[in-house]
Amino acid sequence: MRKLLLLITLICFNFSFSQNKIIDSLRAEIVNYKTNDTIKIQKLLSFAKRIQRSNYKEAETKLQEALFLSKELKSKKFESLSLSGLAGVNLQLGKLTKAMELGINSKKIADSLQNETLIQEANVQLLSAYSNNMNYDQAKDLAAENYNISKSNPNSRGHFRNLYYYAEAERMNKDFEGAEKRYIEGIELSKKANNKEIEYIFKTPLASLYKDHRKFNKAESVIDDIIKYYETNNKARLAGPYFSKATLYSMQFKHKEAEPWYLKSLKIYESQGNLFWKKRITQILYVNYSIQQKNQLADSINKVYIAARDSIDSKEKKQIIEDVRIKYETDKIEQEKNYAKLESSKNRNLFIGSVIIGILILIASLFYLGRIKARKKAEVITLELKETQKRLALEKQYRDAELKALKAQMNPHFIFNALNSIQEYIVLNKKSLASDYLGKFADLIRNYLYYSDTGFISIPEEVHNLNLYLELEKLRFEDELSYSFDVEEKASFELIKIPTMLIQPYVENALKHGLLHKKDNRKLNISISKLSSSLVQCIIEDNGVGRKKSEEIKSRLKPNHKSFALDANTQRLDLLNYGKERKIGIEIIDLMENHEPKGTKVILTIPIIKS
């Protein structure tokens, strides 16, 4: 086993070493090639393409040099290729506007030359920029153009690339049938070409497409096929398929079945040092364990999530180190250029002597500066600590003030909604209902104003207030509303406190956007249970029309309306969660039956407040 690991290590080292040797060789060729002609442009483009993903800045420099020479030599072909390469680099750097501008210029030249190879290259970079900028229609047009150019040679790698981009573009345009057709076409072509690698490249997004459109049986069949192939041929690629399998089960509320697949995926990503996916999967596992009431596992995985999140936050520091490394390599290249120029010069010995003297002066200067810095280091650290403490204190005051202001906004919003209902009864001359409504409203407001200042409320009091609120809403629904509470005995305890007015906005949303649009048999259930000594779970479930149908109705009746209650509650959740190890979790599930919506379920996981 040890010999096998040693052999793999040596192979990886030799591959990396050989790649570096190739890059160094190409770099030296460019330095030593003195003629400014198309051959030099080709060398610059080839070198830039090889280092594009590892050294953006050097690649950009070489491509700009190639563009300058192309314009000098009036070579439109190489000008188009240089612009296309620069578009790709700017896309990787996140400069979308610049990438689109360069891509458009490259395509204009390629179109004027009627060169299909140049057109395809320019289209690839431009459609990538459009996709990242969410201009999906334009991206699809370019992908279709490339597909039509290369379809005469269906077994070429270029056609497979164009077919893949075409499928992705149709998927982004929410054209399910079109995307499915392209993916399947790619799979069939790769089978004919006996190319398993490309076949499974197409199968992976096809599985995601089926999953996104809730075609679970088809998705599971494709995912199982992918897993079977990679378990035999490339285990390093199993993390993605395992995660897809897990999410497939989660979407079907099979949380127990999803758990082992999440863990398999997490294990591979951890071995690869992938912090992003480690953070994402541990966050999902926390919700999974909470739903299954595996509280110890939930607490344990939450600690792993926090550690991964903190590691990702330190990326900025790593980026600074990477910038220093790039600067060092750039300086090294410049030194090599200077050395090459002085190689044939008679003053070489004088130059070396000057460098040595300069290095000695630099070392002496650094030593002197180091001694000065050492004396002041303690003072600087003390000042930084004091400034940090002041900043944290001010930040806490700001957060507290912001939360208080948001609560002050929510109070009148809730009162105005209730007063509108009372006004409706008065206008309709329903005095008895108005009086009944007003009495219950007074009790509710009295309780609300009392608990609003404390910031927290016990479970029994919260249930009492929710019951008052629903009685008032039931009058508005003319008794066409049935609701129930299921409160676990160990949760119904006065010492268990949660934030005030946390549950009510989600109940209000279930009524207004789910049940209001239903004619009869309106049902609402609120269940509260204690998951652990530190967590309470509240589930709000309705049998309304569902979120998708509600959005359609809202866009038709009030296209510019935005719910203040939920928007404000989302801001309030962000503030309540800020700086907390245990955060308030929320999961919204669309309930389906035979692919038809049958309501909505909201799951709130709430840390208990220690009063």
What's the pLDDT at 603? 94
Q: Which CATH number fits domain 56-133: 1.25.40, 1.10.260, 1.20.140, 1.10.3470?
A: 1.25.40
What's the pLDDT at 2? 37
Task: Among 41-50, 100-109, 442-451, name the one with the lowest average pLDDT.
Answer: 442-451
β-strand pairing of 535-542 with 497-499? unpaired
CB burial of residue 6 (10 Å; 0-12, 13-18, 19+): exposed
User: Is the pLDDT score of 71 beyond 80?
Assistant: yes
User: Is the pLDDT score of 572 beyond 80?
Assistant: no
| Percentage with pLDDT > 70 across the chain | 83
User: Is the pLDDT score of 277 beyond 80?
Assistant: yes
What's the pLDDT at 1? 35
**Choice between 111 and 34, residue whose per-residue pLDDT is larger:** 111
Query: What's the CA gap between 448 and 411, in Å, rounded?
Result: 9
What's the pLDDT at 329? 61
The fold adopted by the segment(s) 397-607 is: Heat Shock Protein 90 (3.30.565)
Query: What's the CA gap between 484 and 400, in Å, rounded?
Result: 35
Mean pLDDT computed over 91-112: 86
What's the pLDDT at 542? 92
Decide: 132 and 100 in contact? Cβ < 8 Å.
no
The three-class DSSP label of residue 502 is coil
Q: Which CATH number fits domain 135-237: 1.10.10.10, 1.10.3720.10, 1.10.260.40, 1.25.40.10?
A: 1.25.40.10
What's the pLDDT at 116? 84
**Choice between 265 and 24, residue whose per-residue pLDDT is larger:** 265
What's the pLDDT at 6? 35
What's the pLDDT at 532? 87
**Choice between 584 and 391, residue whose per-residue pLDDT is larger:** 584
Query: What's the CA gap between 502 and 608, in Å, rounded?
Result: 13
Query: What's the CA gap between 255 and 257, in Å, rounded?
Result: 5
Mean pLDDT computed over 114-120: 86
Contacts 24+ apart (CB under 8 A), 117-121: 118/77, 118/80, 118/81, 118/84, 119/145, 119/146, 119/149, 120/146, 120/149, 120/150, 120/158, 120/162, 121/80, 121/81, 121/84
pLDDT tier, 410 (very low <50, low <70, confident <90, very high otherwise)? very low
pLDDT tier, 13 (very low <50, low <70, confident <90, very high otherwise)? very low
Query: What's the CA gap between 171 and 47, in Å, rounded?
Result: 34
Residue 166, CA distances (Å) to 89, 161, 176, 182, 219 in order: 22, 9, 12, 7, 21
pTM of the model: 0.46
